[in-house]
Structure 1
Amino acid sequence: MWQIKPADERIEVEVDGHRVVAYSYGAGEETVFLLNGGPGLPCDYLRDAHSFLAGHGYRVVAFDQLGCGASDRPDDPALWSIARYVEETEAVRRALGLGRVHLLGHSWGGWLAIDYALAYPGALKTLILEDTAADLPHLMAEMHRLRASLGPETVEMLLAHEADGSYGHPEYQAAITLLNYRHVCRLQDWPAPLLASLEDWNMAPYMAMQGPNEFLYIGNLKDWNRVPDLHRIEVPVLITVGRHDEITPACALRMKQHLPQAELTVFQNSSHMPFYEEPADYDAVLLAFLGKHRGAA
């Protein structure tokens, strides 16, 4: 169950001349290393949903990726690339002496986790891919399917605003808000940690890498596809997804079909945030998977 509590440790790590801030809970020998969504989103929402693992004997580590939260926020568009974030993740893991970890990536953090797993396979015990995808062109096709549910007139309106770049227009924003409540978080009142992250969102890396909102991918990751490489990830993998997720069950299944050791759980009453929407069921699935692979060689 999610909780808001101060980290046991707050650690500053220098990465290529920039300050990155990490947060650590618990002191177990097994570490769950969190990579949150965004890009440009502080890690509050993910660490507060997973710090409970410290009470089950795990060390939990999260960090504000460069450009967000308490970390430095340089104004250099060249920094906003997945390759640089992979190296940042490795720098944090090494600086904190984490050894081999259970790497958990949510949303954009899942794309980052996949690239990290391919670059540093020896750093992982397991990989946990939550509400994420390995093929962004396929994801964009799924997004268009979700957008189509708004009806042809609304889709026409969305496309017109996207053509002239008027993403802030009230009618465009109204349609995106409806999609968010259907496919990002279906709770009537969004949890405080999620709101805290959203209110401190740095849109510069998000716009550069993804796009103006959750349902339009036009950034430098729009053609990213690691499906052909997934067979190289040999550690056990847990994939989780909400039935109503913006990154749909079809995206989750596509990953499972190409990973050697993967299991998939679909949360029937969730969208993109099962750890808030169905916390008891989510926690049970995560603890069972971690327990099964605790002490993995």
Structure 2
Amino acid sequence: MTVSPTSKGTVPFGPHRTWYRVTGDLGVAAPALVAVHGGPGSTHDYLVGLARFAELGWPVVHYDQLGNGGSTHLPDRGADFWTPSLFLDELANLLARLEIRDYVLFGQSWGGLLAARHAAARPPGLRGLVVANAPASYPLWLREMKVLRDQLPAGVDDTLRRHEAAGTTDSREYFEAMMVFYNRHVCRLTPWPREFMATFMEIYNDPTVYYTMNGPSEFHVVGSLRDWGVVDCLPDIAVPTLLISGRHDEATPATVQPYQDLIPDVRWALFEESSHIPHLEEPERFTAVLTEFLTELGR
């Protein structure tokens, strides 16, 4: 059951607006848990369950990154506008506007790379970092995507590649073949949880950011992020870090390994029954793992 927010609204970000919701009291002594969602071009919806941590004493902040959800949509902007720097600036602006001085970042998927890059700059208020289901670079991600695609049932990858080569990734046949991969490596629950479906539909309601930066699917990354990563900055992260991934995750262990190897203070929790969203696939263990990490950080 979702915990009701304490406040919701938008903050200015240049000429645009960033939508946010706060659950709990930002004035308490405990650091805020700030959720940075995936995509890019996703929304906060599939992470809304993190709000329950407010009941355990940590105020929780969700927001929709620019271009999606409740934030300003800019469907006419191109790749020169949609950059990692834009979203790093948006995150810093949100923290400043909400006067969040002590916080833990929870970055999921693309949000994990964004959170890692933010943490590497050593902002003074950051107390801890959670990198969930995130590759350390997109070249590494693409290498592992080939491994996972090669393991799909006979004919599925052939169908995907035929449409990718023809530029017909918007076809029904491509979608159905894509879902074979998604049901193995993105969400293994049947049916998909309502909050995850909400995010999935939001991407397709306005795919500007996702298509521009990522591409038409999780495994066909042909957008501006295809050569981007955070491996270079991982040794600069100076806060305790929790890595989360699923045994069946599209973010395979090989894509997560650089975080383990390069961040000085790091631990890794692997969820055996999960793919890309352990917080929904194994919620009880997820809550226990994150609660333990937050408790050890102190208040």
Instruction: Settle same-fold status: TM greater than 0.5.
Output: yes
8 Å Cα contact 1:207-1:219 kept in structure 2: yes
- Distance in 2 of aligned mates of 1:57 and 1:199: 32
Equivalent position SS for 1:200: helix
- Distance in 2 of aligned mates of 1:264 and 1:42: 25
Letter in structure 1 aligned against 2:13? V
Aligned residue for 1:237? 241
8 Å Cα contact 1:121-1:233 kept in structure 2: no
- Distance in 2 of aligned mates of 1:149 and 1:96: 46
8 Å Cα contact 1:240-1:266 kept in structure 2: yes
- Distance in 2 of aligned mates of 1:256 and 1:191: 30
Q: Deviations over 1:222-264 (max 9, x none)?
A: 1112212210111110000000001112222231111111100
Q: Percent identity?
A: 34
- Distance in 2 of aligned mates of 1:16 and 1:119: 22
**Which moves more between the two structures, 140-149 or 251-260?**
251-260
- Distance in 2 of aligned mates of 1:281 and 1:245: 16
Quote the RMSD (CA, aligned, Å): 1.4
- Distance in 2 of aligned mates of 1:242 and 1:41: 20
Aligned residue for 1:287? 291
Aligned residue for 2:54? 54
Count of residues in correspondence between the two structures? 292
Aligned residue for 1:161? 163
Aligned residue for 2:32? 31
After TM superposition, the score normalised by the length of structure 2 is 0.94
- Distance in 1 of aligned mates of 2:133 and 2:42: 16
Equivalent position SS for 2:130: strand
* Partner of residue 272 from structure 2, selected from 242, 245, 268: 268
Aligned residue for 1:12? 10
8 Å Cα contact 2:46-2:199 kept in structure 1: yes
- Distance in 1 of aligned mates of 2:211 and 2:38: 14
Aligned residue for 1:215? 219
**2:256 corresponds to 1:252:** yes
After TM superposition, the score normalised by the length of structure 1 is 0.94
Equivalent position SS for 1:247: coil
Aligned residue for 2:70? 70
Aligned residue for 2:183? 181
> 1:88: how far off?
0.4
Q: Deviations over 1:97-146 (max 9, x none)?
A: 11131001000111111121123532311110000011211111111111
Gap runs ≥5 in structure 2:
none
8 Å Cα contact 2:137-2:231 kept in structure 1: yes
Letter in structure 1 aligned against 2:23? Y
Aligned residue for 1:45? 46
Gap runs ≥5 in structure 1:
none
Distance 1:184 1:35, change over 3 A: same
8 Å Cα contact 1:252-1:264 kept in structure 2: no
Aligned residue for 2:103? 101
8 Å Cα contact 1:185-1:273 kept in structure 2: yes
Equivalent position SS for 1:271: coil
